Structure 1
Amino acid sequence: MQLVKVIGALTLLILLSGCSWFGGDKTIPDIPEQILYDDAMSALDAGNWSLAIEKLQLLEARYPFGRFSEQAQLELIYAYYRNSEPAAARAAADRFVRLHPNHDHIDYAYYLKGLTSFEEDRNFLARFLPLDETQRDPGAALDSFESFSILLNRYPDSEFAPDAQRRMQYLKNRLATYEIHVASYYMKREAWVAAANRGRYVVENLQETPAVPDALAIMAESYTKLGMHDLAENALEVLRVNFPDYVIRPFSPQRFDLLYTATFGLLGQIEPATPARPVNPDRLRQAEADGERNTSSGRRSLLHRISFGTLGSDGNEQESGELIEQAQ
């Protein structure tokens, strides 16, 4: 019986120490705070963002109340940003703001958060391919704009304020153009109320952007379609006063008769859309004169239509000949 107890105790001792024999009891050596911080800074200087993140996380875990703790949290935001981890960078920035609302460098946290979303909005393909960023989802752009706005409102004297202001102007133009794309889509779907609301949003919230005159034109056309002629005239008046050289174009879809659709544009005609008048009356008279000339000279013969332009004449040749004769 005594022998059984001894064997059992030895077996238990062997089982308990087995983890250490197979390396399961490994412990990270106790590294001084200064050395950890220096290693993290060396990794940042070398551009080794993954190693820098590892060292900064270890520094914060081992010494949460150390003298390098707050600086390590700031550096961690930057390391996440450079390592293309936008979600982690924003989370680290929010955590720093929550833990240190009165820190001397809290403006840097807001700046990095906005910069992270700004770079996320400009994705890899958009940098190397001619893609229109204004037609993509503006979620990251909105986050970036909000972060930069907080930075400018709370810390206008920050050293990062000038750069944030320039980026905000770019984002403002991008968001305004996106709203115009959405409003144009609604116009094509004849959703006049939704289109008018999008245009009004641009006019009220995104002023001083190139999209404002288009927004006013969309408002005028939408209100006209809805029968709200007073609101349409008000939009036109604002457009006339502030953008006298802007020429309104119709945003609603063009309609084609059955013969035009059946012959793929060879026969038939486009149904005239609601006439859109230019803001400047002189431009209106000039446009009407140009339209009359184009109408008189733009008639195509039947042979020209059937042969897809390879045979016959389109009327422009005759006009070109007349112009040459006049020049001679």
Structure 2
Amino acid sequence: MTRQGLPANHRGLSPRRGIALALGTALLLGGCDTLSSLNPFDKPEVYKPDMTPPTPADKLYNEGLARLQSGDSEGASKKFEDIDKSAPFSPYARKGLLMTAYTNFQASKWEEAITASKRFIAQNPASPDAAYAQYILAMSYYNQIPDATRDQERTAQAIQAFEELLARYPKSEYALDAKEKLLVARDQLAGKEMNVGRYYLEKRNYTGAVNRFREVIIKYQTTRHVEEALMRLTEAYMAMGITNEAQTAAAVLGHNFPDSSWYKDAYKLLQSGGLEPREDRGSYISRAFQGFSRTVGGIIGINRF
């Protein structure tokens, strides 16, 4: 045992062996370099700062606009980003940040557009351009909405962003389009609920199915899915033997959508059990449609920006 209490072969390299290994490695890496180049007392190279003056913010901004006009969205974005780096307190910094959001959006770089628009809103909440930044934010989420069979996190984020736009800037020029996009996004969420509800119905998990269809009639009444949701509620409640709710769902469907093919199906289903549509005013289904007015027709697909 050594003085350190460890066997000799566990003490690590001896100083002489360590130096030899370092020299060998240096020779391998350095080829024909001399040993003098390893002298630790050699003076290090003096750092010479780059004395090139930064490009003026106005020039960067104009260069960004020129690239954008030529169709080079990515190059334009880099120019606008450089303004924030070289002149963060210049009058062009705010404009550059907004244009960064816009150019990234144009290049379908959604995450970068989201980050830039959020920064602009946080730093310039009272700016006349804040509504536009909020619109870019909402549309960046909206353009990532997947089909109704997949996770709808982006759909929910788009809805939240559009709702914030309408709440903060109700008179902005983007308000009307935001309302239309909201309807489409909500229709997408309703479609997701319907897909899951149908699956549960097929598997005879009637309670799970009812919960999904209930979400549609309460939260998404202006979507194209509400008629089918009422019919599916009729079907699920009939299967469960809860005829009162089945009759109410069919009655509400017939009252609000008398020409719907879904109402005809619901009516036939009730008749097969010797029943007729009859609304129970105390039912949650009836309460959900009190004061209801359908303002939107069928929605097909997702309209992009």
TM-score (norm 2): 0.68
Residue 159 of structure 1 aligns with an amino acid whose one-letter code is E
Q: Deviations over 1:123-145 (max 9, x none)?
A: xxxxxxxxxx3333322222222
Tell me which residue corresponds to 1:179. Answer: 193
Tell me which residue corresponds to 1:34. Answer: 58
How far residue 239 of structure 1 moved from its aligned partner, in angstroms, is 1.2
Tell me which residue corresponds to 1:139. Answer: 153
Q: How does 1:121-270 map to 2 (within 5 A)?
A: 121=145, 133-248=147-262
C-alpha change, 1:9 and 1:240, in structure 2 (3 Å) is closer
Q: Quick one: distance in 2 between partners of 1:11 and 1:109? A: 55
Tell me which residue corresponds to 2:129. Answer: 105
Q: Quick one: distance in 1 between partners of 2:132 and 2:153? A: 22
Tell me which residue corresponds to 2:303. Answer: none
Tell me which residue corresponds to 1:120. Answer: 144
How far residue 280 of structure 1 moved from its aligned partner, in angstroms, is 10
SS at match of 2:170: coil
Q: Deviations over 1:252-292 (max 9, x none)?
A: xxxxxxxxxxxxxxxxxxxxxxx9643898xx9xxxxxxxx
SS at match of 1:121: coil
How far residue 60 of structure 1 moved from its aligned partner, in angstroms, is 0.4
**Would you tell me which structure has more helix in proportion to its own residues?**
1
Match of 2:45 among 16, 19, 37: 16
Q: Check if 1:64 corresponds to 2:88.
A: yes
State how many pairs are aligned.
Answer: 234
In the alignment, structure 2 segments of 5+ residues that lack a partner are 1-38, 275-305
RCO higher in 1 or 2 (8 Å CA, sep ≥ 6)? 2
Residue 109 of structure 2 aligns with an amino acid whose one-letter code is E
How far residue 77 of structure 1 moved from its aligned partner, in angstroms, is 0.6
Tell me which residue corresponds to 1:295. Answer: none
Q: Deviations over 1:85-123 (max 9, x none)?
A: 11121122222222222222111111111111222226x
Q: Quick one: distance in 1 between partners of 2:136 and 2:248? A: 43
Residue 141 of structure 1 aligns with an amino acid whose one-letter code is T
Equivalent pair of 2:84/2:97 in contact (CA under 8 Å) = yes
TM-score (norm 1): 0.64
Q: Quick one: distance in 2 between partners of 1:173 and 1:231? A: 25
Higher mean displacement: 238-247 or 34-43: 238-247
Q: Quick one: distance in 2 between partners of 1:278 and 1:150? A: 44
C-alpha change, 1:159 and 1:280, in structure 2 (3 Å) is farther
SS at match of 1:92: helix
C-alpha change, 1:26 and 1:10, in structure 2 (3 Å) is farther
Equivalent pair of 1:248/1:278 in contact (CA under 8 Å) = no
Q: Quick one: distance in 2 between partners of 1:43 and 1:67? A: 20
Tell me which residue corresponds to 2:268. Answer: 278
Match of 2:104 among 70, 76, 80: 80
Tell me which residue corresponds to 1:54. Answer: 78
C-alpha change, 1:112 and 1:28, in structure 2 (3 Å) is farther
C-alpha change, 1:27 and 1:212, in structure 2 (3 Å) is farther
SS at match of 2:258: coil
Q: Deviations over 1:185-240 (max 9, x none)?
A: 11112221221111111111111222111111122222233333322222122112
How far residue 29 of structure 1 moved from its aligned partner, in angstroms, is 3.9
C-alpha change, 1:190 and 1:28, in structure 2 (3 Å) is farther
Residue 187 of structure 1 aligns with an amino acid whose one-letter code is L
C-alpha change, 1:164 and 1:228, in structure 2 (3 Å) is same
C-alpha change, 1:27 and 1:85, in structure 2 (3 Å) is farther
SS at match of 1:16: coil
Percent identical pairs in the alignment equals: 27
Q: Quick one: distance in 2 between partners of 1:101 and 1:153? A: 13
C-alpha change, 1:190 and 1:31, in structure 2 (3 Å) is same
